[in-house]
C-alpha cells in the first residue's frame, strides 16, 4: 500500500518541482529588469581583457592639491552620473580626472579612458578591442564597441578627455551620456545643461 502511494506521488512531485523552478526563474528575471531600471543590483562585465588601448594613462608626478575638488567630484558623480570638469587649457583637467579615477579605482569594475578626437562615434570606433580585425570598417568597429559599452552599469567609469565642444555640437553625445555608466568629461567649454566643476588655479587651494 505504501509503495503504491509512493509511486503514485512521484509524477506529482516532479510537476511540483518544475512549477517551483518556473516561478523562481520568473522572479529572477523580474528582479533583474527592475534592478536595471534603478541602476542597482546589476554589475558591469569586466572589460580589462577586452579593451586593449583604453587603460588609464599614468599621472604626472607634479600633481598636487585639489583635495577639496576631489571630494566634491566624488559627491557630484554620486548624484549625477554625467559630470563636466571645465577650465582653461593647461589648468590640469586631464590630470585631475586621472587622479580621481586612480584614487577611486577600487570602487569601479571598469575605468575606461576615451580621448575625444572631434567626433564621439570616431572616438569609440578608434578604441581597440580584442578580436577586432583589419577588415572591419569604421561603422562595424563602432557598432561592435558600442554594443559592449552599453552593457556597463553604474560601477563603471568612463573618462571622456578633451571634449572641447558643447554637447549639442556632437550628434551622438546625447545618446552616449544616457547609458548607465558614470561619465567624467574634461572640457574647455561651459555646458549649462549639465553638472559642471570649474577648475581653478591649484595654488589658491594650497594657500588656504
pLDDT tens readout for residues 115-126: 999 999 999 999
* Residue 159 covered by a domain: yes
Same domain, 27 and 118: no
Task: Specify whether 95 is located in the same domain as 190.
Answer: yes
In-domain check, residue 193: yes
Distance of alpha carbon 198 from the chain centroid: 22
Residue 44 phi/psi, 5-degree rounding, is -75, 150
20-61 confidence digits (pLDDT tens): 776 666 555 444 433 444 444 579 999 999 998 888 888 775
User: Cα 149 vs. chain centroid, distance in angstroms?
Assistant: 8
* Predicted pLDDT at 191: 94
Query: pLDDT band at residue 67, thresholds of 50, 70 and 90?
Result: confident
pLDDT at 202 over 70: no
- Are residue 170 and residue 94 in the same domain, yes or no? yes
Give percent of the chain with pLDDT exceeding 90: 65
Q: Does 184 reside within a domain?
A: yes
How far apart, in whole angstroms, are the C-alpha atoms of residue 33 and residue 38?
Answer: 9
Q: Looking at residue 187, which CATH number applies to its domain?
A: 3.40.50.300
Identify whether residues 76 and 12 lie together within a single domain: no
Number of H helices, E strands in the chain: 7, 5
Q: How many domains does the chain have?
A: 2
pTM: 0.76
Whether residue 72 sits in one domain with residue 31:
no
Helices 93-103 and 67-79 cross at an angle (nearest 10°) of 70
Residues 34 and 81 in one domain: no
pLDDT at 203: 59
- Are 23 and 111 part of one and the same domain? no
Give whole-number Cα distances, 201 to 63, 89, 107, 112, in Å: 12, 11, 28, 27
The answer as to whether 151 is a domain residue is: yes
Q: What average pLDDT score do residues 6-27 get? A: 65
Any domain includes 75: yes
Average pLDDT, the chain: 85
Shared-domain flag, residues 32 and 72: no
Q: Are residues 7 and 71 in the same domain?
A: no
Show the cell assigned to 58: 599614468
pLDDT band at 201 (very low <50, low <70, confident <90, very high): confident
DSSP string for 30-98:
HHHHHHHHTT-S--PPP-TTTBSS-SPPPPPTT----HHHHHHHHHHHHH-SEEEEE--TTSSHHHHHH
Question: Could you tell me which residue, 38 or 170, shows the higher pLDDT?
Answer: 170
Banded model confidence at residue 13, pLDDT cuts 50, 70, 90? confident
Determine the average pLDDT of the residues in 141-167.
Answer: 97
Same domain, 71 and 14: no
- Compute the CA torsion angle 121, 126, 129, 132 (nearest 10 deg): 100
3-state SS string for 1-26: CHHHHHHHHHHHHHHHHHHHHHHHHH
Q: Going by C-beta distance under 8 Å and a sequence separation of 6 or more, which residues neighbour residue 32?
A: 41, 42
User: Domain of 202?
Assistant: 67-206
Residues paired with 162 in a beta bridge = none
How many beta carbons lie within 10 A of that of residue 179, not counting itself? 18
Tell me: do 13 and 102 sit in the same domain: no
Q: Report the distance separating Cα 120 and Cα 38, nearest Å.
A: 27
Residue 64 has a pLDDT of 65
Amino acid at each position: 500500500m505504501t509503495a503504491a502511494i509512493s509511486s503514485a506521488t512521484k509524477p506529482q512531485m516532479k510537476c511540483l518541482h518544475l512549477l517551483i523552478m518556473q516561478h523562481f526563474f520568473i522572479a529572477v528575471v523580474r528582479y533583474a529588469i527592475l534592478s536595471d531600471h534603478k541602476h542597482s543590483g546589476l554589475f558591469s562585465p569586466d572589460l580589462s581583457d577586452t579593451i586593449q588601448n583604453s587603460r588609464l594613462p599614468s599621472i604626472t608626478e607634479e600633481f598636487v592639491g585639489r583635495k577639496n575638488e576631489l571630494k566634491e567630484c566624488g559627491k557630484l558623480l554620486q548624484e549625477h552620473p554625467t559630470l563636466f570638469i571645465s577650465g582653461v587649457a593647461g589648468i590640469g583637467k586631464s590630470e585631475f580626472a586621472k587622479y580621481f579615477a586612480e584614487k577611486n579605482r577600487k570602487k569601479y569594475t571598469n575605468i575606461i579612458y576615451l580621448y575625444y578626437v572631434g567626433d564621439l562615434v570616431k572616438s569609440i570606433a578608434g578604441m581597440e578591442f580584442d578580436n577586432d580585425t583589419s577588415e572591419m570598417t569604421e561603422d562595424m568597429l563602432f557598432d561592435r564597441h558600442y554594443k559592449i559599452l552599453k552593457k556597463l552599469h553604474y560601477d563603471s567609469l568612463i573618462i571622456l578627455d578633451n571634449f572641447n565642444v558643447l554637447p549639442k555640437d556632437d550628434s551622438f553625445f546625447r545618446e552616449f551620456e544616457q547609458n548607465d555608466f558614470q561619465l567624467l568629461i574634461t572640457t574647455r567649454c561651459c555646458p549649462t545643461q549639465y553638472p559642471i566643476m570649474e577648475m581653478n588655479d591649484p595654488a589658491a587651494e594650497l594657500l588656504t
